[in-house]
Amino acid sequence: MFVKDVMVQNQVGLHARPATFFIQKANEFKSSLWIEKEERRVNAKSLLGILSLGIVGGTQIRIIADGSDEQTAVESLVELVESGFAEDNR
């Protein structure tokens, strides 16, 4: 299991469009992936799960992976979040 905390950089947070980019990236990996905000944990490959967390800009989230490519998966998703979900960084 590999875990890393990251601050959501973009002002609007993980609304539908950036959440879709996040899920597309998450689905590139074999590992099981989760996003945790405070005490809630959701599947990082689920749009409804991510949207249900109501993540806004400036929120600290934890990305958790478990599987064969867990470290690569987490680092890649952290990089995406830190980029502010710039479309050219997909």
Residue 86 pLDDT > 90: no
Kindly report the average pLDDT of the chain as a whole number. 93
pLDDT of residue 89: 39
Task: Tell me, yes or no, if 36 is annotated catalytic.
Answer: no
Residue 88 pLDDT > 50: no
4, 10, 12, 15: the catalytic one is 15
Q: Where are the domains of the chain?
A: 2-85
60-74: per-residue pLDDT in tens?
A: 999 999 999 999 999
pTM, two decimal places: 0.92
Residue 78 gets which letter from DSSP?
A: H
pLDDT of residue 85: 83
CATH of region 2-85, choose from 3.40.50.300, 3.10.20.90, 3.30.1340.10, 1.10.150.120: 3.30.1340.10
**DSSP letter for each residue of 22-90:** HHHHHTTSSSEEEEEETTEEEETT-HHHHHHT---TT-EEEEEEESTTHHHHHHHHHHHHHTT--GGG-
CB atoms < 10 A from the CB of 44, how many? 27
